[in-house]
Structure 1
Amino acid sequence: MSDDKKTLVEAVNLALDHALADDKDVVLLGEDVGTNGGVFRATQDLKDKYGLKRVMDTPLAETMIAGMTIGMATQGLKPVAEIQFMGFIFACMEQLVGHAARMRNRTRGRLTCPMVIRAPFGGGIHAPEHHSESTEALFAHIPGLRVVIPSSPVRAYGLLRSAIDDPDPVIFLEPKRIYRVQRQTLPKQGSRLPLDTCFTLKEGSDLTLVTWGACVRECQEVTRNLAKEGVGVELIDVATIKPLDMDTILASVRKTGRCVIVHEAARSFGVGAEIAARVSTELFHELRAPVQRVAGYDITMPYYRMEDHYMPSVGQIASACQIVCSC
């Protein structure tokens, strides 16, 4: 691997490239992933390098893509399918929920489903309807599905390599508004990062700030600003929202006594609500302030003129932090 720095989408491309090179059973499929290299160019040049049998363009049919991916996975391949935008993933739900998630249980372990569904998700790029959803909680609710969300190039590479290795289905959601905003030097080729584990990005003793995906960037800015005011924030990137590593979160909140949760998805019935409930239930007597949540609104993501009003802002996050710190 060269030493040049990669963006998040380039890290995804590199992870797929190395997975294809390392394992002949890995195949890629999806709409425009071959000749065009994907709508965001996440699979650029891979068809030319590995051929039509390894990198396959499909018809515009998400239900078929999901069903074919499950069939491949149960018969010895390791398919990685791309759904162009998360808003198009609803056509896959019957296949993913009714079959992929249940395959191991249904066959008493005789068949597993080593497959990855990749999808760009979230807002922030002024996209039209169905192109800006953050519905990760739908999949987190389903037993048998693993849900992974990277927040940086390094984590995108390492987590995707681990997701492809996993013997069960993984929903791998890529926050597209940070596809190209940051460059990092990646670790050596083939390096994996653990799934089902939160990453503590910064240690602190006054406040635990929990987030994932693109919102990590805003939380990092708030963390830096509060540090100037003498407030020590412990910043946690959840990374795998299902299964959820509550041990890391609880240990941090037990230390700080305060918790703010930030996510772009709608506020109600979300992953943030689950984390808040667990923290409040298990650490009730150790909390110095009620848990605060900063989230999207319970509406469809608005068009671009109002999009910035929907997204959690640095100001909103800072305000929530000030509320818990004032207690």
Structure 2
Amino acid sequence: MDRADVVDGGFRACINSKEFPTGSAPNDALPADLATEIFAAQCLSRNLDRRSRKMQSEGNGYYTIGSSGHEGMAAVAAALRPDDMAFLHYRDGAFQTMRSSQVEGVDAAWDMLLSFCTAKEDPISGGRHKVLGSKALNIPPQTSTIASHLPKAVGAAYSLGLGKRRAPEHKCLPDDGIIMCSFGDASANHSTAQGAINTACWTAYQSAPMPLLFVCEDNGIGISTRTPGGWIKASYENRPGLKYFSADGLNIYDAYKVAQEAAHYVRTQRKPAFLHISVVRLYGHAGSDMQQAYLPKATFEAWEADDPLLHSVRLLDQAGVMSPDQALTLYQDSEDHCAKLAAKAVKKPRLKTAKDVMASLIPPARTCAPTNGPSDEARAKAFGSDFKQMDSPQPMSRLLNWALTDLMLEHGEIVMMGEDIGTKGGVYGVTQKLKDRFGADRMIDTLLDEQSILGLAIGMAHNGFVPMPEIQFLAYLHNAEDQLRGEAATLPFFSNGQFTNPMVLRIAGLGYQKGFGGHFHNDNSLAVLRDIPGVIIACPSRGDDAAKMMRECVRLAREEQRVVVMVEPIALYPMRDLVEDKDNGWMTTYPSPDQSIALGEVGVDGDGPLAILTYGNGRYLSTQAAAALKAQGIDTRVIDMRWLAPLPTEDILAALKGAKKVLIVDECRTTGSQSEALMALLQEQTTLPHARIAAHDSFIATGPAYAATMPSRESIAEAAKELWSQN
């Protein structure tokens, strides 16, 4: 028998017999009318759980991780304001049903039933997944995430203080609001949770505003692994910078009172708090979880006997708010209501085609106030002595610095964050002087935690900022890649475009860096980025292109709400010469602020019949090889892709018109590299003979062999000659 039916039967039997579990008494903090609303939200959440299981058994439901046992979260919702953004644990159906009662025009039962059956009319995901979330309720959608939402909650909380001091154009959160983030006791052990909580404490310890309420819902078990008794309290009761509160989640009066106290502390002190709320888990982890296979029956029967709804009925009766019979009537009405609505919801159309599913991968554009660029006076003041050097050729690092300066002058909502980007100016000096020009508020030196850097950016974007996080080296991204894949890129997808987190992520990367780093500081694999749907990847090869592409990246984030990654080739930051020593052939002057390179626009040097298709360092090396090939009578055209995702197919094919043969030069590893997609493109859409040269499937060494595994000007020229000589 389904344990949901067992618990339902037990609930009804206890009410009929008037035999309730023992527990603490009601207090006077919760008014009678609000207590009734909380219990109604609990009943609705419980019956939605039961209905989701019945829908699944009938072939009409697709998600059964429920919230039963965690209904005390309805009291937490009641203690907060509806405009307090909430990043929810996946067991927080009761929080959402309670908040729905606080906002006019929201029907929690109908909305969640549509989500259970993946109907296209589901108001949060558009039928893509069963998610808790609602634009009207200020709840960004979450699925079965394991703590990955905590870093962005920290970022959103930080944005409240910054938004009060420097309001962005698209600000959407109130200055006196707080951020709430909930998670389970098992998730509290995840490195992502540990990093996020540490970041919040680290920030608050320095007296920076961090109005964030962490809510840990402790049911004592994570799927089958028990949490040691007392572990959560011992771990969080005495953390520096974090105020600890503890509440009984089985007692709505206590949960409301303590949640109110915690929220008041966070709201008035602008500091983080940790609300540890004890709950039970009913029905197992999910519908498919057979808890009797790993738990003694007596254990989960004890949890069922501590049903929070039974405690609520007892408390309401003791407080004189409603009798047990009235409570049962309300519960039955809730069940009947869910059953009636479910019968209608399952008849609603669902997504069918790839086009339907993918419609929300790309977020909608938003209207932005027109800008005319910074004034000459503002530029002269910001640039100082640099202003006089703009007519002289410069390397990429300097031109990127100037482009960032102009962009930050023009758009006050741009905020940069990363390790060493402020006072030091970055490992390679790209962000030098920006802290002096724009202040520490907009050039944030973060702690050493890539997950928190990206989480800060995602959360700040929720409040209208255009974040520009920096990951110091490409290899370091792997510590935090799920913040892009599982959070940033999926947010518009799972919210049907209602929530977005635009950003421009800058990463110093790729190979050819001499005398430094090895595989940790030279990483020539972009597969982790290319695999994420909806993410734009830019990769400039020369300073003028870098400046113009950076402007387009910011436009894409600011106006089109895109997640953009600019991979900046480290080896090309200081590059001055091209062919001969001191020829300054790879330096350019700074392009005027009104110039940009559009998404998908490739670059072409030359018009020879042998096309070399490449990007990044490959363009630099291929240009050198082209000079050697010309001396041997082979004319080339070097096509710089510039944009690696989405693949600029149309412009590549246009640039190949008139070419006779194509050599792909890819500095990334042969397996998983851009060259694989380019080979497929040429095979499927052209008749041109083609070949490729790519890096070996190897990590990069330090020392004299730093470039041994990657294409060189010599190997490119040799491959080009071999291809050209073939019939």
User: TM-score higher than 0.5 here?
Assistant: yes
- The 8 Å contact of residues 419 and 447 in structure 2, kept in 1 or not, is answered as yes
| Residue 211 (structure 1) aligned with residue 614 (structure 2) | yes
Find 1:130's aligned residue among 492, 517, 520. Answer: 520
Task: Map Cα deviations across residues 248-290 of structure 1 (whole Å, 9 max, x no partner).
Answer: 322344522311111211111210111011101222xx22x3x
| Residue 304 (structure 1) aligned with residue 698 (structure 2) | no
- The 8 Å contact of residues 202 and 233 in structure 1, kept in 2 or not, is answered as yes
- The 8 Å contact of residues 18 and 190 in structure 1, kept in 2 or not, is answered as no
Of stretches 219-228 and 208-217 in structure 1, the one that deviates more from structure 2 is 219-228
Give aligned-pair identity as a percent.
Answer: 29
Find 1:321's aligned residue among 720, 723, 726. Answer: 720
Q: Measure, in 1, the Cα distance between the counterparts of 2:411 and 2:616.
A: 28
- The 8 Å contact of residues 698 and 709 in structure 2, kept in 1 or not, is answered as no
Normalising by structure 2, we get a TM-score of 0.43
User: Residue 563 of structure 2 aligns with which residue?
Assistant: 169
Q: Where do residues 226-241 of structure 1 align in structure 2 (5 Å cutoff)?
A: 226-241=629-644
User: Residue 475 of structure 2 aligns with which residue?
Assistant: 87
| Residue 139 (structure 1) aligned with residue 550 (structure 2) | no
Q: Measure, in 2, the Cα distance between the counterparts of 1:106 and 1:326.
A: 52
- The 8 Å contact of residues 207 and 253 in structure 1, kept in 2 or not, is answered as no
Structure 2 counterpart of 1:169, one-letter code: V
User: Residue 50 of structure 1 aligns with which residue?
Assistant: 438
- The 8 Å contact of residues 511 and 707 in structure 2, kept in 1 or not, is answered as no
Structure 2 counterpart of 1:131, one-letter code: H
Q: Measure, in 1, the Cα distance between the counterparts of 2:692 and 2:474.
A: 23
Find 1:104's aligned residue among 475, 482, 492. Answer: 492
Q: Measure, in 2, the Cα distance between the counterparts of 1:177 and 1:68.
A: 28
**Structure with higher RCO (Cα < 8 A, 6+ apart):** 1
| Residue 201 (structure 1) aligned with residue 605 (structure 2) | yes
Residue 4 of structure 1 deviates from its aligned partner by 2.3
Q: Measure, in 2, the Cα distance between the counterparts of 1:75 and 1:162.
A: 22
Structure ID, larger Rg = 2
Structure 1: tracts of 5 or more residues without a match: none
Q: Measure, in 2, the Cα distance between the counterparts of 1:96 and 1:265.
A: 21
| Residue 220 (structure 1) aligned with residue 623 (structure 2) | yes
Residue 301 of structure 1 deviates from its aligned partner by 1.2
User: Residue 178 of structure 1 aligns with which residue?
Assistant: 572
Q: Which runs of 4+ in 1 moved over 4 A?
A: none
Tell me: CA distance 1:252–1:50, structure 2 relative to 1, closer, same or farther (3 Å): closer
Q: Measure, in 2, the Cα distance between the counterparts of 1:6 and 1:318.
A: 28
- The 8 Å contact of residues 419 and 470 in structure 2, kept in 1 or not, is answered as yes
- The 8 Å contact of residues 197 and 244 in structure 1, kept in 2 or not, is answered as no
User: Residue 29 of structure 1 aligns with which residue?
Assistant: 417
Structure 2 counterpart of 1:102, one-letter code: T
User: Residue 117 of structure 1 aligns with which residue?
Assistant: 505
Task: Map Cα deviations across residues 135-193 of structure 1 (whole Å, 9 max, x no partner).
Answer: 22321121111000000010110101111121211111111111111321122124221
Task: Map Cα deviations across residues 212-253 of structure 1 (whole Å, 9 max, x no partner).
Answer: 001211101121222233322121000001011122322344
Q: Measure, in 2, the Cα distance between the counterparts of 1:251 and 1:51.
A: 45
Tell me: CA distance 1:111–1:60, structure 2 relative to 1, closer, same or farther (3 Å): same
Q: Measure, in 1, the Cα distance between the counterparts of 2:594 and 2:664.
A: 32
Find 2:544's aligned residue among 144, 154, 177. Answer: 154
Q: Measure, in 2, the Cα distance between the counterparts of 1:24 and 1:279.
A: 43
| Residue 5 (structure 1) aligned with residue 409 (structure 2) | no
Residue 480 of structure 2 aligns to a residue whose secondary structure is helix
Q: Measure, in 2, the Cα distance between the counterparts of 1:93 and 1:168.
A: 17
Task: Map Cα deviations across residues 180-207 of structure 1 (whole Å, 9 max, x no partner).
Answer: 1132112212422112221112222x21
Normalising by structure 1, we get a TM-score of 0.94
Structure 2: tracts of 5 or more residues without a match: 1-386, 577-586
Structure 2 counterpart of 1:171, one-letter code: V
- The 8 Å contact of residues 470 and 507 in structure 2, kept in 1 or not, is answered as yes
Task: Map Cα deviations across residues 30-64 of structure 1 (whole Å, 9 max, x no partner).
Answer: 00111111111111111111111111100000000
Q: Measure, in 2, the Cα distance between the counterparts of 1:181 and 1:162.
A: 23
Residue 306 of structure 1 aligns to a residue whose secondary structure is coil
Q: Measure, in 1, the Cα distance between the counterparts of 2:440 and 2:655.
A: 48
Of stretches 154-163 and 122-131 in structure 1, the one that deviates more from structure 2 is 122-131
Residue 305 of structure 1 aligns to a residue whose secondary structure is coil
| Residue 191 (structure 1) aligned with residue 581 (structure 2) | no
Residue 261 of structure 1 aligns to a residue whose secondary structure is strand
| Residue 73 (structure 1) aligned with residue 454 (structure 2) | no
- The 8 Å contact of residues 600 and 651 in structure 2, kept in 1 or not, is answered as no
Residue 74 of structure 1 deviates from its aligned partner by 2.5
Aligned residues: 322
Q: Measure, in 2, the Cα distance between the counterparts of 1:51 and 1:207.
A: 50
Q: Measure, in 1, the Cα distance between the counterparts of 2:653 and 2:445.
A: 44
- The 8 Å contact of residues 604 and 655 in structure 2, kept in 1 or not, is answered as no
| Residue 280 (structure 1) aligned with residue 698 (structure 2) | no
